[in-house]
Copies of this chain bind each other. A is one copy, B any other.
């Protein structure tokens, strides 16, 4: 058996302590599987003295994560602090400069600096592994980078923010509005310090950008992800979509088209009886579509101590076994710079609007759609609420530009009350 693999762990929060727990509790199991022991040599955290419920006295303590990253007695720097600048970035750079492999759960860091960090790591003959950064405990980075490596990927999709999916499924189940459930999540501690990372789709967008880089062999380009959060998803839309056989999800989609790479993280409709439509609560799901394999669906816990630490330790065990792959599945220097394409792949759209109770109102709307080249698949007019009638339309496949064109024309008809809503229906 080879010499032990030595870890330095930066961050002793939930994830960090989960990693400590696995190393302590599963030492024999890991040694059997990895072919060598995995040891913790040193740790770093803001507060040394806090009781974290485990004996850390055998580990050297560094107040500064950069100092931890530079220690010559570690092999792998485990970064579970978070934050895409400041100490997390500085320490990761220092670890690479010191010749260490890095295992990180930090999606923000890689979404913003993944290409530069990967180039640096690979120039040093080291790797950065980040299974824990995307979809928590689901081994999706491994599935995509290795399990489906023989496929030209067609599309990658995912529900990858548990808080958003929790809010959306609770809205349907309880009939409570977004604001009430947002507050519930805040009270339960489900939200990031900056809640916009969750509900604005940013966190999930970070994850999508990492999957897209691997899937399509392109540099990470988070800035090109079209982001729309769930703040404006209404109870009405959740109910009416359900009525038409759909559910609303904050869904990420990345696909390579003739025009370039489309990446979006937006609320959209999926069939209620599809695996994505059936996904409830905080669970995550990733759908990987390859030209050979067809569709693979992975489902599991997207957050939490055990799942996230499981993913971190999978990367650690890979390194202990001597597996060291390029960060994004092929050398960073060979990744192409993607052309960012605005979403133009046609899809059916869900349209909701309130019409004045006037003769011919619906005909005017239908005329606008026809003028914009959008044809109607289904239409429902609901019982009148006072003088206004809610109307739902599901279109045949149309481009977003065509839909925007039609929505612009609606304005001139004088029959609309308030703003119409348009949501993409993703075919899954």
Contacts and interface: CB of A to CB of B under 8 A. Distances in A.
A118 B314 CA distance: 23
Contact of A297 (B29, B300, B306): B300
A338 to B, nearest CB: 15
A316 B292 CA distance: 15
A299 B318 contact: no
Contacts of A273: 278
A146 B294 contact: no
A409 interface: no
A156 B292 CA distance: 26
A131 B148 CA distance: 11
A344 interface: no
Interface string A261-293: 000000000000101001000000000001111
Instruction: With a 10 A CB-CB cut-off, give which of A149, A290, A331 has the most chain B CB atoms.
Output: A149
Interface residues of A, number: 57
Interface string A311-331: 101101110010101100111
Contacts of A323: 146, 323, 325
A7 interface: no
B151 A293 contact: no
Nearest to A295: B300
Interface stretch (A32-40, A92-100, A187-195): A32-40
Interface string A181-220: 0000000000000000000000000000000000001000
A22 interface: yes
A316 B150 CA distance: 9
Nearest to A297: B299
Contact of A293 (B278, B300, B318): B300
A309 interface: yes
A334 interface: yes
Contacts of A33: 149, 329-330
Interface stretch (A135-143, A165-173, A396-404): A135-143
A221 interface: no
A217 B296 contact: no
Interface in A355-409: none
A325 B334 CA distance: 27
A225 interface: no
A259 interface: no
